[in-house]
Amino acid sequence: MDPGDDLSTRADVAEQPADGKKFTFPSALTILALVTLAVWALAFLVPPGAYDRDEEGAPLQGTYHRVDSDQSFTDRLNDLFLSPVNGLYGVQDAETGEVGPDLAGELYGSAGVFLFVLAIGAFITVVFATGALDRGIGRLAHRLRDRGALLIAGVMLVFALLGTVEGFAEETLGFYGLIIPLMLALGYDRMVATGTIILGAGIGVLCSTVNPFATGVASSAADISLGDGIVLRAIMWVVLTAVTIAYVVRYAGRVRRNPERSLSGFLPGDRDHNATDAEEPPRLTRLHQVILILVALVFAFMIFSVVPWSSALTGDADATPYGFELGWSFPQLAALFLVAAVLVGVVARFGEQRLSATIIQGAADFISPALVIVLARGVTVIMNNAQITDTVLHSIEGVVSGTSSALFAVFVFLVNLPLAFLIPSTSGHATLAMPILAPLADFAGVSRAVVVTAWQAASGWMNLWVPTTAVTIGGVALAKIGYDRYLRFVWPLLAILAVLICGFVALGAVWT
């Protein structure tokens, strides 16, 4: 998980010109600030409207009607000024539907998700500070150094597992120095190492099951449980991970048999490595083993706590919850990861000063994705108070009306592809898109969980190749291969994955 921008941190994409100037893609915060201004301005042009709603607050299809807005220019200016505040802890008035920081009603802001991101940031930072995860992956790679295909599959599987549960992506940049020499020593090229790292973690994030920065934020914005849809996402993870591993292993075998077929070529000295020369990483200490077990238990318990087991096991969305179900959401999960961070620090014998400093640093490193969520939620507050959200929803209602549920699910995937590129933040993209997409699912008779799955698949698919993703552009730079060559390597897999994703979300829409 990238501390700066939840997997979608954008890197500089232009080459350094001779005059020293370079193009820098705007940060997620800058993009969302511009989106906020644009939506605020458009709210003067879009007519206000509203749907009739059921007891749960969901809009009723076919009930849209125009309404008169009593907002003055001063009111609208105040909404713009307070949008970040409302995005954090704005409260929605039950009678008027207006959102403001000093109203009475239900919390509309993203304070719960905001704290959750900071809490998991603290936990992940404490875990990495112990060195247990890095050393564990290093030991795995070294142990499998003389079994090439198994090494590729093992590393990709670990990365994919970490990606699906906690958004592991940017952290992979630290493994190129280890993986590239091992792959070269086994007769492979630098593209094999690059594919193993980028695609291993990337396919995990694409098929996120409980990844808090993708599935978690999107589920919260869609007003569903983090565990809703986990069965479909888990099946997707198994199948798409297997396909991706097979793709990389097949290319690796081809290069090993015929090095001239390498897409990346070889640099001077690349063919001089030998697997037996690879330096053995330090062994896992008993402490490291205990910490890795603790981390596995924490994430396993998180999955257990959020899954609606009765619905998942019976297939009935309205099934009575079992007695052992916890039904946890973001407040409880935030507390879980804060406690877990302290526990790991205590077990690692950090001491009070170091543990406190590491937790604070972890929360600070993750303030950027947390603020992105707040700003994106602030945009929805502007739309809500100007009463144009339902108007936008109504304009898209006609597109999905009469379509099959399977076709609607594919439509959600496709429409989010360009959005994933234009909105450079996974969390921001989710927070902006879900208030529109989730009610559309109700109109199409599709589970909101399928919309979340289709959305995150689009975001993850784009992040496997777009040149503005730090994981991709940083990875090819560290591997010293051309970005154009990486595209030649990955595009057939992208086509296969796109077809499989459309099939899965269509099946999920029909199934649910």
Would you give the DSSP letter of residue 49?
Answer: E
Task: Name the 3-class secondary structure at 278.
Answer: coil
Tokens 């406190």 found at: 356
| Number of other residues whose CB lies within 10 A of the CB of residue 280 | 10
**Taking Cα atoms as reference points, which of 260, 194, 277, 55 lies closest to residue 475?**
194
CA dihedral 68, 71, 77, 78 (to 10 degrees): -130
Q: Where are the beta strands (DSSP E) in 457-507?
A: none
Q: What pLDDT does residue 512 have?
A: 67
Based on the number of CB atoms within 10 Å of its own CB, is 260 exposed (0-12), middle (13-18) or buried (19 or more)? exposed
Contacts of 104 (CB under 8 A, 6+ apart): 91, 93, 94
**Taking Cα atoms as reference points, which of 207, 209, 223, 215 lies closest to residue 436?**
223
Global pTM reads 0.73
- What span, in angstroms and rounded, lies between the C-alpha atoms of 64 and 56? 17
The kind and range of the H/E element at 471 are helix 470-479
Residue 232 — left, alpha, or beta (φ > 0 → left; ψ -120 to 50 → alpha)?
alpha
Q: What pLDDT does residue 76 have?
A: 93
pLDDT (tens digit, 9 = 90+) per residue, 444-493?
A: 888 999 999 999 999 999 989 987 676 888 788 888 888 889 999 999 99
Instruction: Reduce the secondary structure of 422-468 to three states and give it as a string.
Output: HCCCHHHHHHHHHHHHHHHHHHHCCCHHHHHHHHHHHHHHHCCCCCC
pLDDT (tens digit, 9 = 90+) per residue, 109-155?
A: 888 888 988 998 899 889 989 988 878 877 777 777 778 888 899 98
Q: What pLDDT does residue 277 have?
A: 54
Tokens of 290: 């205990």
The amino acid that residue 123 corresponds to is F
Contacts of 158 (CB under 8 A, 6+ apart): 137, 140, 200
319-327 long-range CB contacts below 8 Å, 24 or more apart? Answer: 327/225
pLDDT (tens digit, 9 = 90+) per residue, 167-200?
A: 877 778 767 877 887 888 788 899 999 999 999 9
Quote the longest CA-to-CA distance of the chain: 76
Contacts of 277 (CB under 8 A, 6+ apart): 185
- What span, in angstroms and rounded, lies between the C-alpha atoms of 156 and 511? 30
CA dihedral 26, 28, 31, 32 (to 10 degrees): -160
- Contact between 429 and 379 under an 8 Å Cβ cutoff? The reply is no
Tens of each residue's pLDDT in the chain, 512 residues: 543 344 444 334 333 444 455 656 676 688 788 889 998 999 999 899 888 877 766 777 778 888 888 888 999 999 999 999 999 999 988 888 899 999 888 888 888 888 988 998 899 889 989 988 878 877 777 777 778 888 899 989 989 998 898 787 777 876 787 788 788 878 889 999 999 999 999 999 999 998 888 888 888 888 888 888 898 999 999 999 999 999 999 999 999 899 999 998 888 877 766 555 556 778 889 999 999 999 889 988 988 887 777 766 765 556 788 888 888 888 898 999 999 999 999 999 999 999 999 999 999 988 887 888 888 888 889 988 998 888 887 777 776 666 788 999 999 999 888 877 766 567 777 887 888 888 888 888 889 999 999 999 999 999 899 876 768 887 888 888 888 899 999 999 999 999 999 999 999 998 86
The kind and range of the H/E element at 66 are strand 65-66
